[in-house]
Amino acid sequence: MGGRLTVWTVVVRGSNDIGSAIACRLAQDGQRVLIHDGPAPTTTRRGMAFADAIFDGEATLEGIRGIRIDTPGAAELMVGTVMLSCSPFVDVLASVSPDILIDARMRKREIPQDVRGLAGLTIGLGPGFHAGKNCHIAIETSWEDLGRVIDDGPTLEFRGEPREIGGRQRERYIYAPVAGRFQTRLNIGEEVSEGEVVAMINDTPLHAPLSGTLRGLTRDGVPVAERTKVVEVDPRSRESANFSGIAERPGRIADGVRRALAAWTAPRAG
């Protein structure tokens, strides 16, 4: 995105792989970016996200540092670095006063609140968002029209089935059978065998649904609700699996956000 002169303050909701890809790309473009999430996100694709910074204080994604700050304010935001905060969202809005708010939480089946009054430009990602009704601009997250910028109208409804990887779809995932504390000794990128115990929730063991490489794994010690996605296995070997960096889908969604920002910025820079 050459030629951009204006630096905006951007708040991204969600430290998942999609929110992190957006934050990373915007930081690379020279924007001041803050990710907001809860104090214990259940993010699984942590090798593709900044989520671990909330626990460890810092994480890196494609050369961009993500740093947790405890008392967010506009003065703490730096060009080229992503800040993360788990302070109450209303406090973040009040202290940062974002020019742009991007909701990347990907709630899928929930109907989002109208966020248009929270920033000069509000962007909603995925099912439930309707440009002109509950956000200014929506971005399509379904593979059929991935990354399309919508300035009037809704995104596609939630389709329910993930795209195939190695011939496998939803069977790649483990969803929490009970609520409790997620526990694991494994790491993203490790190879596992079908039936192997990969984690526990309280006293309930979670078995690998197939052999392959751990692409997604909720952070050890995080409380999870029943039916939360907690594990993802890529059926390919470690050499072929995709478990770190920005993957195709988050990258294309991030590119859609960048196009939306470029269109919004153009008349203001004239």
Is residue 135 located within the same domain as residue 104?
Answer: yes
* Mean pLDDT of all residues in 226-252: 95
Strands (E) in 75-185, as ranges, are: 82-85, 100-103, 121-125, 130-131, 137-139, 149-150, 153-154, 173-175, 180-183
Is residue 125 located within the same domain as residue 179?
Answer: no
At residue 239, does pLDDT exceed 60?
Answer: yes
Q: For residue 2, is it within any domain?
A: no
Is residue 192 located within the same domain as residue 225?
Answer: yes
At residue 1, does pLDDT exceed 70?
Answer: no
At residue 183, does pLDDT exceed 70?
Answer: yes
At residue 213, does pLDDT exceed 70?
Answer: yes
At residue 44, does pLDDT exceed 80?
Answer: yes
Q: What is the largest CA-CA distance in the chain?
A: 61
Torsion of CA 171, 174, 175, 179, to 10 degrees: 160
Q: For residue 110, is it within any domain?
A: yes
| CATH number of the domain bearing residue 106 | 3.40.50
pLDDT-based confidence at residue 60 (cuts at 50, 70, 90): very high
CA angle, residues 261, 266, 270, in degrees to nearest 5: 150
Is residue 144 located within the same domain as residue 224?
Answer: no
Q: For residue 125, is it within any domain?
A: yes
Average pLDDT score over the chain? 93
Would you state the structure tokens that stand for residue 128, as one six-digit string?
């439930």
Q: What is the pLDDT of residue 2?
A: 45
Is residue 175 located within the same domain as residue 226?
Answer: yes
Is residue 16 located within the same domain as residue 140?
Answer: yes
User: How many other C-beta atoms can be found within 10 angstroms of the C-beta atom of residue 107?
Assistant: 15
Would you state the structure tokens that stand for residue 48, as one six-digit string?
């593709």
pLDDT-based confidence at residue 248 (cuts at 50, 70, 90): very high
Total domains in the chain come to 2
Give percent of the chain above pLDDT 70: 95
Answer yes or no: pTM beyond 0.75.
yes
Is residue 184 located within the same domain as residue 211?
Answer: yes
C-alpha to C-alpha distance for 127 and 112, rounded to whole angstroms: 9
Q: What is the pLDDT of residue 78?
A: 86
C-alpha to C-alpha distance for 267 and 177, rounded to whole angstroms: 51
Is residue 150 located within the same domain as residue 185?
Answer: no
* Mean pLDDT of all residues in 16-28: 98
Orientation of helix 17-28 relative to helix 248-269, angle to 10°: 40
| CATH number of the domain bearing residue 204 | 2.40.50.100
Is residue 193 located within the same domain as residue 86?
Answer: no
* Mean pLDDT of all residues in 162-186: 90
Helix ranges restricted to H, the chain: 17-28, 52-56, 89-96, 248-269
Residue range of the domain that includes 202: 170-234
Is residue 77 located within the same domain as residue 115?
Answer: yes
Q: For residue 106, is it within any domain?
A: yes
Q: What is the pLDDT of residue 71?
A: 77
Instruction: Let me know: does 38 contact 13? Beta carbons within 8 Å.
Output: no
Q: For residue 241, is it within any domain?
A: no
Is residue 177 located within the same domain as residue 227?
Answer: yes
Q: For residue 262, is it within any domain?
A: yes
Q: What is the pLDDT of residue 4?
A: 47
* Mean pLDDT of all residues in 167-177: 89
Is residue 34 located within the same domain as residue 76?
Answer: yes
Q: For residue 162, is it within any domain?
A: no
Q: For residue 165, is it within any domain?
A: no
